[in-house]
Amino acid sequence: MFYALIRGLLRSFLIILGLKVEGLHNLPPKGPVIVAANHVSNWDPILVGVAINRPVHFMAKAELFHNPLLGTILRGLNAFPVNRGSADRNAIRQALELLEKGETLGIFPQGGRRQDTAESSIQPGVGMLAMKSRAAVVPVAVIGTKGGFPLGWIKPLRVIIGKPLDLSTYYQEKYSSRLLGTVSQEIMAQINLLLCK
């Protein structure tokens, strides 16, 4: 209920700022989904959460949960903590459990806010979650949040939702760090194609 209330308020605010959502029909209506998006601003998870018409569970850096009030709000918005810079097994397990339940997981392949979207700089975590869960992976481009507030000042606010990626050719390959890197890079490449639209 808290999630729906906050999402509704934020959606109204962002529509006033001119938010446009494209490709919503590409999002599977049910079943496990990994929403993979670029990340340049603190506003990005908010825009993705507003654009997607399914509740999205985001990984958020653990430091944000150290503040009891902020931590409570983040949990109410379906976020859960991840220790960046290490293989956080608890966060990985929680992400996989959510996908097993048919939920939607939001993840930023860049591992944090970055201006650089080169495929070579991507973290392997999104590839690992995609291979272990075999969930539908939907690339998403967030445009217009660079530079912070006021949103949409430099570029119009847009969220472009791409078609689910066909990663089935990788399922037969030997599980390795190289495979995870390749899958992660392919996911980021599709996000970059959407950013060029």
Work out the pLDDT band at 42, boundaries 50, 70, 90: confident
Token readout for 12 is: 């109204």
Work out the pLDDT band at 190, boundaries 50, 70, 90: very high
Per-residue pLDDT, 55: 96
Q: How far apart are CA 89 and CA 53, in angstroms?
A: 29
CA angle 8, 107, 192 (to 5 degrees): 100
Per-residue pLDDT, 148: 64
CATH class of 2-195: alpha beta
Per-residue pLDDT, 179: 95
Query: What is the three-class DSSP state of 90?
Result: helix
pLDDT tens across 104-121, in order?
Answer: 999 998 866 555 555 556
Whether 58 and 71 have beta carbons less than 8 Å apart is answered as no
pLDDT tens across 122-157, in order?
Answer: 788 999 999 999 999 999 999 988 876 666 565 688
Per-residue pLDDT, 73: 79
Whether 47 and 145 have beta carbons less than 8 Å apart is answered as yes
